[in-house]
C-alpha cells in the first residue's frame, strides 16, 4: 500500500522503496534503553523506556539526532520484537515507554502496542516533531496515554528554511489539537509521574524569539490550561549548521529571557522551563543499537 501517513504524503510503496523519510515499512530504531534526560514527570528516578526510531519525516537542518534522522542509522526489527522491547523496558523498571520520532512507523507501532497492551502497566508516550496528519493520529485512539509533541514554528518562512516544510504549522497545530482531544490534560500518579495528557515542547532557536513568542501565544489561545508546556533552551549547533548565519551559535541569555518573560506574562499555569545552563551532551545518547 502506498504511504501517505505524514504530511509529506509521498505515495510510495514502502515495501519496494522509500519516500522522504528514508524508511521502509518495517520499524527501524537505533536504541531502546532507559533515558534520564526528559522532563522530571517523564524520566523520574528510574528512567523513561526510550526507543529512538530511525528516519524522519521532517529532517530539521539542526537536528540533534542527525545520524538517525538524516543518516538513517539503526536496525530494522519486526513488529513482534518491538512488542518484546516494550515488555523488556517495563521489566527494567521504566516509568513509561517513550516512542521518539514514531510518526513514520505509525502502523507497525499500532500493531505492536495492540499485541501487548493487556500486559503493560506503564503509559505509552508519543514523542514527535508535531509534523503529523490529524487523521493518522486518530488511529492511535486508546493506545497512547501521553502526547509529547514539539511545536517548533508558526512562521512558514522559518519552517521552510530550517525543516523544508512551509506547511509545518498548518499541520502541527491541527495535530496538537487532536492530541489534546485524545489525551486531555496532564494527570500525575501518586509518585508525581505522568499517567496521561499532553505536554507541548518548544525549543527556542537563536535569532527566532519573535516566532517563539507566536508559538506561545497560539498555545495560550488554543490549548486548555491543564496541558503542560515545556520550554527548552538546549539548542546546540552541529557541524551541518556551521555555515548557517542564524544557527551557528547557542541561544543567548537575552533571547531566552525574552521568551521566558513572555511565557510568564501569558500566565501559563503548568509546565517546565529548562535552565539555560542545563544543556549537556548526555541529552543525546549513543545510537549504538542498545536494547534492540
Ligand atoms: S512516512 Fe515517509 S514515505 Fe510516508 S508519507 Fe511520510 S515521508 Fe513519505
**Closest residue (by CA) to atom 2 of ligand 1?**
21
User: What pLDDT is stored for residue 281 in this prediction?
Assistant: 58
Residue 22, C-beta contacts closer than 8 angstroms, at least 6 positions apart: 55, 56, 72
Q: What structural domains does the chain harbor?
A: 2-283 (3.20.20.70)
Instruction: Tell me how far apart the alpha carbons of residues 55 and 42 are, in angstroms, rounded to a whole number.
Output: 24
Distance CA 17, CA 24 (A): 7
Q: Is the CB of 129 under 6 A from ligand 1?
A: no
Q: Is 213 helix (H, G, I), strand (E, B) or coil?
A: helix
> Is 196 in contact with 145 (CB distance < 8 Å)?
yes
CA angle 20–29–96, rounded 5-degree value: 120
Which of 2, 12, 53, 168 for mutating ligand 1's site (highest number of atoms within 8 Å of CB)?
12
Say if ligand 1 is within 6 A of residue 123 CB: no
Q: Compute CA distances 57 → 8, 34, 51, 70, whole Å.
A: 7, 25, 17, 10
Cα 152 to ligand 1 centroid, rounded to whole Å = 20
Q: Is 144 in the pocket of ligand 1 (CB under 6 A)?
A: no
Nearest Cα residue to 56 out of 102, 113, 108: 102
SS3 32: strand
Closest ligand 1 atom to residue 55 Cα is 2
Torsion angle of the four alpha carbons 255, 261, 265, 266, in this order, in degrees rounded to the nearest 10: 50
Q: Is the CB–ligand 1 distance for residue 104 below 6 Å?
A: yes
Ligand 1: nearest atom to the Cα of 4: 5
Specify the ligand 1 atom closest to the Cα of 23.
Answer: 2
Ligand 1, closest atom to CA 3? 4
Q: Where are the alpha helices (DSSP H) in 61-196?
A: 66-69, 79-91, 106-116, 134-137, 156-163, 168-183
Can you give the pLDDT of all 292 residues of the chain as single tens digits?
799 999 999 999 999 999 999 999 999 999 999 999 899 999 999 999 999 999 999 999 999 999 999 999 999 999 999 999 999 999 999 999 999 999 999 999 999 999 999 999 999 999 999 999 999 999 999 999 999 999 999 999 999 999 999 999 999 999 999 999 999 999 999 999 999 999 999 999 999 999 999 999 999 999 999 999 999 999 999 999 988 889 999 999 999 999 999 999 999 989 999 998 766 655 778 899 999 9
Ligand 1 atom closest to Cα of residue 10: 8
Amino acid at each position: 500500500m502506498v504511504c501517505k501517513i505524514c504530511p509529506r504524503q509521498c505515495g510510495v510503496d514502502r515495501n519496494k522503496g522509500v519516500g522522504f523519510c528514508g524508511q521502509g515499512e518495517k520499524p527501524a530504531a537505533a536504541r531502546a534503553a532507559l533515558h534520564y534526560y526528559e522532563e522530571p514527570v517523564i524520566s523520574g528516578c528510574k528512567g523513561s523506556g526510550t526507543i529512538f526510531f530511525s528516519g524522519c519525516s521532517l529532517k530539521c537542518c539542526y537536528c540533534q539526532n542527525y545520524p538517525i534522522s538524516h543518516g538513517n542509522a539503526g536496525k530494522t526489527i519486526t513488529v513482534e520484537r518491538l512488542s518484546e522491547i516494550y515488555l523488556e523496558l517495563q521489566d527494567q523498571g521504566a516509568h513509561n515507554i517513550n516512542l521518539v520520532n514514531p510518526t513514520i512507523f505509525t502502523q507497525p507501532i499500532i500493531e505492536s502496542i495492540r499485541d501487548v497492551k493487556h500486559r503493560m502497566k506503564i503509559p505509552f508516550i508519543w514523542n514527535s516533531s508535531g509534523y503529523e496528519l490529524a487523521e493518522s493520529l486518530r488511529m492511535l485512539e486508546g493506545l497512547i496515554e501521553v502526547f509529547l509533541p514539539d511545536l517548533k514554528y508558526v512562521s512558514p518562512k522559518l519552517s521552510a528554511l530550517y525543516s523544508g516544510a512551509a506547511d509545518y504549522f498548518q499541520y502541527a497545530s491541527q495535530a496538537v489539537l487532536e492530541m489534546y482531544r485524545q489525551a486531555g490534560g496532564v494527570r500525575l500518579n501518586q509518585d508525581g509521574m505522568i499517567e496521561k495528557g499532553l505536554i507541548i515542547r518548544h525549543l527556542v532557536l537563536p535569532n527566532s524569539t519573535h516566532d517563539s513568542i507566536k508559538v506561545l501565544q497560539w498555545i495560550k489561545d488554543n490549548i486548555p490550561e491543564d496541558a503542560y508546556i515545556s520550554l527548552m533552551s538546549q539548542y546546540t549547533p552541529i557541524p551541518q549548521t556551521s555555515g548557517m548565519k542564524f544557527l551557528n551559535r547557542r541561544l543567548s541569555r537575552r533571547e531566552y529571557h525574552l521568551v521566558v518573560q513572555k511565557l510568564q506574562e501569558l500566565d501559563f499555569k503548568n509546565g517546565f522551563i529548562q535552565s539555560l545552563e542545563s544543556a549537556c551532551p548526555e541529552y543525546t545518547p549513543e545510537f549504538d543499537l542498545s536494547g534492540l
